[in-house]
Amino acid sequence: CRVSDSSDSVISSGSESAEGQAVYKVVLLGEHGVGKSSLARIFGGVEEAHDAEEAGNTYDRSVMVDEEEASILLYDVWEQDNSPWLKEQCMKMGDAYIIVYSVTDKSSFEKASELRIQLRRARQSENIPIILVGNKSDLVRSREVSKDEGSACAVVFDCKFIETSASLHHNVLDLFQGIVRQIRLRRDTKEE
Ligand code: GDP
Ligand code: MG
Locate the ligand 1 atom nearest the alpha carbon of residue 38 and give its number.
Answer: 7
Is pLDDT at 12 greater than 60 in this prediction?
no
**Residue 46 one-letter amino acid:** V
Cα 93 from Cα 177, distance rounded (Å):
20
Cα 86 from Cα 3, distance rounded (Å):
8
Nearest CA residue ID for atom 6, ligand 1: 35
Calculate mean pLDDT across residues 25-30.
97
Percentage of residues in the chain having pLDDT higher than 90: 70
What's the pLDDT at 46? 83
Residue 36 has phi, psi (to 5 degrees) of -55, -50
Provide the β-strand partners of residue 28. Answer: 98
Judged by its nearest atom, the ligand closest to the C-alpha of residue 52 is 1
Is 37 close to ligand 1, i.e. is its CB under 6 Å away?
Answer: yes
**CB-based contact 97:129 (threshold 8 Å):** yes
